[in-house]
């Protein structure tokens, strides 16, 4: 998609580390939406919020990111990372809005012998509930709305918020070996 001045972009997950930064740096008219503005697990509220905003692009930086907790609460992980993405795809299809969806490298990992970096054409194989929920969201988006990009990231770090670098430093500080 070519940048056009004045393009309206909605960033879902605007209270998170990535969402805050995207709201700060994206061009055009950026509308940050937090869970309080548009809870992705409430399809009606999400639809109302996006219909009111009428964006050209929706960046989905929202998600259940608690990898370990997803094993004990798979329903919550799938509600946010899969079913909410399915509903977002339908809403954006109806609005004719491009979706940029943030996913995870946790959709990979099943091949324990692999020693090469992954690329977008490699078949996924998640090892855990979190990765499976993220892959399900990707698959719903692919199936329901072709105007999308999926970005798989391995981790975020930066000022503010919980992130991998901060978590590892805290583990080291208290003498807990990282896994």
Number of folded domains that form the chain: 1
For residue 84, being part of any structural domain is answered with yes
Model pLDDT, residue 5: 59
For residue 95, being part of any structural domain is answered with yes
Q: Which of 83, 40, 69 is nearest to 130 (CA)?
A: 69
For residue 144, being part of any structural domain is answered with yes
Model pLDDT, residue 107: 95
Model pLDDT, residue 171: 86
For residue 2, being part of any structural domain is answered with no
For residue 111, being part of any structural domain is answered with yes
For residue 3, being part of any structural domain is answered with no
- The range of the structural domain enclosing residue 68 comes to 8-174
pLDDT in tens, 157-166: 776 667 778 7
Task: Give me the residues of the chain with pLDDT under 70, please.
Answer: 1-6, 159-161, 179
Model pLDDT, residue 81: 98
Look over the chain and give the mean of its residue pLDDT values, rounded to a whole number: 91
**Residue ranges in 54-128 assigned as alpha helix (H):** 67-72, 74-78, 84-95
For residue 17, being part of any structural domain is answered with yes
Model pLDDT, residue 119: 85
CA distance 41 to 12: 12
Paired residues of 12 in beta bridges: 33, 60
Model pLDDT, residue 74: 97
Active site members: 130
Where residue 153 sits, what CATH number does that domain have?
3.40.50.720
């Amino acid at each position: 998609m070519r940048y056009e001045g004045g393009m309206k972009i909605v960033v879902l997950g605007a209270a998170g580390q990535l969402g805050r930064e995207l709201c700060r740096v994206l061009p055009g008219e950026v509308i940050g939406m937090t869970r309080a503005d548009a809870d992705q697990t409430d399809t009606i509220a999400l639809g109302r919020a996006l219909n009111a905003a009428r964006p050209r692009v929706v960046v989905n930086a929202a998600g259940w990111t608690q990898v370990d907790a997803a094993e004990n609460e798979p329903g919550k992980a799938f509600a946010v990372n899969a079913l909410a993405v399915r509903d977002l795809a339908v809403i954006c299809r109806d609005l004719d809005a491009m979706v940029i969806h943030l996913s995870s490298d946790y959709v990979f990992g099943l091949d324990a012998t692999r020693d090469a970096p992954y690329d977008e054409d490699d078949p996924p194989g998640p090892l855990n509930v979190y990765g499976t929920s993220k892959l399900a969201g990707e698959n719903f988006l692919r199936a329901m709305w072709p105007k999308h990009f999926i970005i798989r990231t391995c981790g975020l770090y930066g000022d503010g918020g919980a992130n991998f670098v901060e978590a590892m430093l805290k583990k080291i500080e208290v003498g807990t070996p990282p896994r």
